[in-house]
Structure 1
Amino acid sequence: MLLIEPDAVAKIDSACITSGIPGFALMNVAGRAVSAAALRDYPGALRYVVLVGPGNNGGDGYVAAKALIEAGATVALFRLFDGQPTTDDAKRAAAECACPVQKLEEYVPMKGDVVIDAVFGAGLTRGLPASLIACIDKVQSAGLPVIAVDIASGVCGRTGRILAGALHADLTVTFMAPKIGQMLLPGRIHSGRLEVIDIGTPLRLLERFASSTGINHPAVWQIYSGPRAADTHKYSHGALTVFSGGASQSGAARLAAAAALRAGAGLVTIAAPTEAMAVNANHMTAIMLREVDDQNDLAQLLEDKRLQTFILGPGFGVGDKARDFALALATRRLVLDADAITSFRDRPEDLFDAFALGETRLILTPHDGEFSRLFPDLAANQALSKVERAQHAARRAHAVVILKGADTVIADPAGRATININAPPSLATAGSGDVLAGLCGAFLAQNYPAFAAACAAVWHHGDAAQRAGAGLTAERLINFIET
C-alpha cells in the first residue's frame, strides 16, 4: 500500500548508501529485473531495443542491455544524449555494457522489436526533447510493445500528468514501491501493467520516506469492521437518514438508502417532502419513511438524538433549502453530495465554518465539476496534483473529501490521502454516485471515523462493480455490495 514521491527516491538511495548498500548494487538488481521481465513476457522478440537517458534510469537500461546480451538475445542500444552519463553509477553501467551505442535519432523500428524505455525516471518535471518525442511517435505508430523502466518517459511521477508526450507502456517495472504518478490518470494508463520489484531497499527506509498518500485498501478501515456484539440493536449499529427530493427526483435518495441498508446500517430512514411521500412509500419496504418539508420539521426530527448521521444531496435540488438543511446538521455526521454541494457554490465558507470545530464529521463527494464550484482556485491550479487538490480542500473544509473519478482520491484534514485503484469503467453510469453516498453514510453511521468510512465506501463501491460485471446499473450494483 506504500507509495513514494519522486523526490523521495534520491533520499532513499542516499540512505541506502549510508547504510552500506552501494548504489550500483541497487542499479544492478534493478536492471537485471528489467531484463528478466523482458525475457519472460517477450521471449519471441527478434530484437530488444533499449533507449537510455543520461541519469540513473539510463544506468538501469545499460545493465538490462548487458544482461540480455549475456542471455543470448539481440540488443540494440540508443541513447538520447551525447557524451558520458551524468552519475557515477550510470557511467559504470555504461562502461560495463558491451553493446555499441547509437544516437536516438537513428532508431528505425523493425518488426519483432521490443522497446525498453530507460530514458527518464519518475523525477522528470520538464517536457521531453524533440528527438525523444519523434522517437515516441515512431514506436507508437509501429505498434511495438514497450517496457518502461521505473516509469514511462514523459509521465510526471508526482501528478501522473503527461509532460508534452509520453510512451505508452505495456509493462512498467518499477522499484521499491509504486509512484503516485503511476496511480493517477493518465499516468496509470501509460504505465500498463505495473510490476514492483524489491531491489534490496530496507523496509525501514521505505516506511521512513513513504508518502502520506497510499493505495486505498481494506487495511485502512479493517480495525473498525469487526463482528457485531451480541447486544447490538438497529440504533446502536447505525441509524442513517437520507433526505429525498421532490416526487420526480426521489429515486436518487432511494438508491443511497438501499445501498446503506445493504452495507450494514441498522436503520435507514428517508426524510421526504409531502409531495414525495407516496412515491417513496410505493418503492420501499425495509427503509423507513418520515415526512420533512421544512426547517421546523427538520428541527423536530433532530430532537431524536439517536439520529446522528445524514445524507443530503442526491436528487435534493439546488438552493436555499439544501443550504439551510446542511447548516442545521452541523453538529451531526453528514455526507454532502451532488445538489447540496452545488448549493454552496456562492458561499462555501458558510459550510466550512459550520463544520470547523471538533472531530471531522463531514464527507464531501464532489466530481471535478462540483469540486470547482466549492474550490475554484484549487481546481484551476495546474501545479497541483489531484491528490494535492484534495488534500488542500480537505484542510480548508475540515472535511474528508472524496474527489471522484476513475482515479478517485480520498483526503482528510490531517493530510492523509489514498488513491483508489479497484474501480472498473462500468461505474460511469447514472446513479452510481448515489450508491457511493449511501455507502459513505452506512459506514459513518456504524461509527467509522470519517476518513475510514470514506475509504471503505469507495473501495466497496469498486469491489461491487467488479463482481457485478458488464451491464452494470446503479440498481444492480447495490445487489453486489458485500461488507
Structure 2
Amino acid sequence: MRERESGSGIDPAELMERAGRGVVAAVRRERPDIPSAGQTALVLCGPGNNGGDGYVVARLLAEAGLDVTVVAYGDPGALPDPAAQAHRAWVAAGGRVAPLLDHQPDWDRPPPALLVDALFGGGLDRPMPDDLSEALVTIDDRAPYALSYRVSIDAPSGLNLDTGRVMFATGRERIVLEFDLTVTFDALRPGHLLASGPTLCGKVVVAELGIAALAWGKTFTIPVPSDFDPVLRPGEAPNKYDHGHVLVLAGGPGRGGAARLAARGALRVGAGLVTVACPSDALTENAARLDAIMLRTVDGADDLRALLTDARINVLVLGPGLGLERARELVPVALASGRACVLDADALTAFADDSAALFAQLNQNVVLTPHGGEFARLFPDLADHPSVIEAAREAGRRCNATVVLKGPVTVISGGGTAHVLASGTDPRTPAIPGIPWLATAGSGDVLAGMIAGLIARGGRAWTSPRKAVWLHAEAARRFGRGLIAEDLPDLLPAVFRDL
C-alpha cells in the first residue's frame, strides 16, 4: 500500500489494524453470513504491507471462529514493519503460515467460504512471477468464483492501479484473479475504475483510515449540492437573458435530430434561451419539432457572423449532426467570435486531418467532447496510451482547452488536471463504473447541450463539464434500462429537486 507511508501522524501498526478491521467490516456488510464459526478461509499474504493487512484479517477472522489457512509468498521472516508485527501477532495467536508455492488444496473438502488476496494490492508495478501465477491457477480452480466469496485488499494483485490494466509480460499470459469485493483505503485509485479494473475488482468499497490527504481522492469528483448553485439558485436574475443564450448550429434536412437533442439538454439544464440555427431548407423540419426552442437560419459563415452581432448569445454548440463541410466553414467563425464553445461530433471529425489548425484556434473557453473514436482521430499518438487519465491530461495541455473524454468512465481534463467521473452514483461505492444504458444514440448530444447550458448560466468551461457529466449520468441512472436520449432532458427536474 503505497499511500500508507509516513506523514499521517498515525502509528503505522495502528493503520494496519484499521485496514484489517475495515476489510472484515466490509465483508460483514456485504455478506452477513460471513464470517461465522465453522467456515473456512484462505488468506494469501505477500511480502509487503499488503501482506501485513492479510495477517491482521486472518487473525480477526480466526477470532470470529473461522478455520483460517494463511499461505505466504516470500519469506515472512523478512517482512518490513509494521507487516512483521502483524505476522508475529498472527503466530502468537496460534496461527500458522505455509509457503504459497507449496500449497496443495485438499480436494476432498469444500472450497473455502472466503478467499482473501493480500499479496501485492496496488504495490506491484510489474507482471507477477511465473511461479506465483502457476500457484494462483490452482487456487483459482480450488476456490471458484461461484463458490468462494473472493475479496482483494487494495486491488487484485497484478492489476495496475494507475491504469486499470493487467500487467502481462510480453508474450506470456499471467493470471489475475477476479473478485466479488475489493476494499481500498481512504480514496479510490484510477485503476479501480478504468480498463479491466471494474471486472476484476467487483464491488469497490472504501474503508477510512484517516489519511485521505495522502491518497488519490483529489483525482475523483464527488459532486455535492453546493456544486450546483448556479442551476438551483437563480438569485437576482429576473430576465431570461440573465440565464444565458445558447446557440446550437444544426445540419441540413434529415440531420437536425442531434442538434435538437443538444438544444433540449441546454434548455432543461437551465439556459434562459436556446436557439437552433439551421440551413434554410431545414427550417420547416425543425419548426415542426420545436416550441420553447427558437429557430434562426444560418446558411453559411456570413449568416453566422451576422447572427453573432447579438451580444446576448454567450455560448455556441457545434457538431451534433452538423455535417463535416458545414463544420469546417462554421467552427472558425464561432471560435473567432470569442464566445464559449462546445465542440462535439462533426466539429471534431472535420479537423481530424489537420488537428493542429483546430488547436491553434482554441482557448480556455472551449470544451471538446470526444468519444474514444473522435479522440483517436484528433490525438492519434495518445489513443493507445496505457493511462486514459494521462492521455486526457496531455490532450488538454496540447489544445489549451477542456477535454471531456467520454466513455464508461469519463475523464475531464483542463489546465493540466484531470477529473474522473465513474457514474451518477457516489463513486466511493461504485457497483458498476459507468451506466451501460447511456450507450445509446444521441446521449452525447444531450451532454454537449447540458455543458453549454451550465456555461451559459455563468459556469466556467473547466468546471461546468464535471457538473453536466454527473447530472447526465444521474438522470440515466434514475431511468434505468430502456433509456433513450430523448428521455434524458426530462429527467433533470427530478434530479434537481433531490439536490
TM-score by length of 1: 0.90
What SS does structure 2 have at the residue aligned with 1:268? strand
1:199-256 CA distances to partner (integer Å, 9 max, x unpaired)?
243xxxx336656522342468335344113442122102001111111211111111
Superposed displacement of residue 94, structure 1: 1.4
Matched to 2:87, the amino acid is A
What SS does structure 2 have at the residue aligned with 1:160? coil
Superposed displacement of residue 148, structure 1: 1.0
Alpha-carbon distance in 2 for matches of 1:176, 1:231: 41
Alpha-carbon distance in 2 for matches of 1:400, 1:365: 9
1:107-136 CA distances to partner (integer Å, 9 max, x unpaired)?
537434310110112132111223443344
Q: 2:316 is matched with which residue: 306, 310, 322?
A: 310
Alpha-carbon distance in 1 for matches of 2:181, 2:87: 24
Partner of 1:192 in structure 2? 202
Superposed displacement of residue 415, structure 1: 1.7
What SS does structure 2 have at the residue aligned with 1:236? helix
Q: Which moved more, 1:170-179 or 1:60-69?
A: 170-179
Alpha-carbon distance in 2 for matches of 1:139, 1:421: 33
Matched to 1:329, the amino acid is A
Partner of 2:330 in structure 1? 325
Q: Cα 1:111–1:151, aligned 2, differ >3 Å: closer, same or farther? A: same
Pair 1:477-2:496 in alignment? no
Alpha-carbon distance in 1 for matches of 2:28, 2:131: 28
Alpha-carbon distance in 2 for matches of 1:410, 1:440: 12
Alpha-carbon distance in 1 for matches of 2:225, 2:166: 31
- C-alpha contact (below 8 Å) 2:414/2:462 kept by paired residues: yes
Q: 2:378 is matched with which residue: 374, 377, 384?
A: 374
Q: Which moved more, 1:263-272 or 1:102-111?
A: 102-111
1:458-477 CA distances to partner (integer Å, 9 max, x unpaired)?
11110110111221111122
Partner of 1:429 in structure 2? 440
Regions of 4+ moved over 6 Å: none
Alpha-carbon distance in 2 for matches of 1:137, 1:429: 38
Partner of 1:289 in structure 2? 295
What SS does structure 1 have at the residue aligned with 2:206? strand
Pair 1:440-2:451 in alignment? yes
- C-alpha contact (below 8 Å) 1:215/1:421 kept by paired residues: no
1:164-215 CA distances to partner (integer Å, 9 max, x unpaired)?
34222211121122222213232133222222222243xxxx3366565223
Matched to 2:84, the amino acid is K
Matched to 1:188, the amino acid is P
Partner of 1:390 in structure 2? 392
Partner of 1:3 in structure 2? none
Pair 1:154-2:154 in alignment? no
What SS does structure 2 have at the residue aligned with 1:215? coil
1:279-334 CA distances to partner (integer Å, 9 max, x unpaired)?
11111111111110111111111111111201100111123x31331111121111
Q: 1:62 is matched with which residue: 29, 47, 55?
A: 55
Unaligned runs of 5+ in 2: 169-174, 425-433
- C-alpha contact (below 8 Å) 2:42/2:112 kept by paired residues: no
Q: Cα 1:135–1:37, aligned 2, differ >3 Å: closer, same or farther? A: farther
Matched to 1:134, the amino acid is E
Aligned residues: 462
Partner of 2:45 in structure 1? 52
Alpha-carbon distance in 2 for matches of 1:39, 1:373: 47
Q: 2:98 is matched with which residue: 89, 102, 106?
A: 102
Q: How does 1:50-199 map to 2 (within 5 A)?
A: 50-82=43-75, 84-97=77-90, 98-105=94-101, 106-108=103-105, 110-141=110-141, 142-143=144-145, 144-164=148-168, 165-199=175-209
- C-alpha contact (below 8 Å) 1:240/1:265 kept by paired residues: yes
Matched to 1:113, the amino acid is A
Alpha-carbon distance in 1 for matches of 2:206, 2:237: 45
Q: Cα 1:81–1:191, aligned 2, differ >3 Å: closer, same or farther? A: same
Matched to 1:99, the amino acid is G
Partner of 1:27 in structure 2? 16
Q: Cα 1:474–1:240, aligned 2, differ >3 Å: closer, same or farther? A: same
Alpha-carbon distance in 1 for matches of 2:312, 2:150: 58
Matched to 1:460, the amino acid is L
Alpha-carbon distance in 2 for matches of 1:27, 1:208: 15
Alpha-carbon distance in 1 for matches of 2:347, 2:339: 16
Q: 1:468 is matched with which residue: 475, 479, 484?
A: 479
Matched to 2:120, the amino acid is F
- C-alpha contact (below 8 Å) 1:185/1:407 kept by paired residues: no
Alpha-carbon distance in 1 for matches of 2:358, 2:78: 54
TM-score by length of 2: 0.87
Superposed displacement of residue 100, structure 1: 1.7
Q: Cα 1:182–1:209, aligned 2, differ >3 Å: closer, same or farther? A: closer
1:5-25 CA distances to partner (integer Å, 9 max, x unpaired)?
x75x15xx2113xx3x32111
Alpha-carbon distance in 2 for matches of 1:374, 1:218: 33
- C-alpha contact (below 8 Å) 1:311/1:335 kept by paired residues: yes
Alpha-carbon distance in 2 for matches of 1:194, 1:136: 22
What SS does structure 1 have at the residue aligned with 2:242? coil
Q: Which moved more, 1:53-62 or 1:339-348?
A: 339-348
- C-alpha contact (below 8 Å) 2:180/2:203 kept by paired residues: yes
1:372-428 CA distances to partner (integer Å, 9 max, x unpaired)?
11111122333xx11111111111111111111111111112424233332421101
Superposed displacement of residue 432, structure 1: 0.9
Q: Cα 1:230–1:224, aligned 2, differ >3 Å: closer, same or farther? A: closer
Pair 1:455-2:466 in alignment? yes
What SS does structure 2 have at the residue aligned with 1:456? helix
Q: Which moved more, 1:128-137 or 1:439-448?
A: 128-137
Q: Cα 1:64–1:284, aligned 2, differ >3 Å: closer, same or farther? A: same
- C-alpha contact (below 8 Å) 1:78/1:107 kept by paired residues: no
Q: Which moved more, 1:400-409 or 1:165-174?
A: 165-174
Alpha-carbon distance in 2 for matches of 1:170, 1:163: 20
Q: Cα 1:153–1:475, aligned 2, differ >3 Å: closer, same or farther? A: same
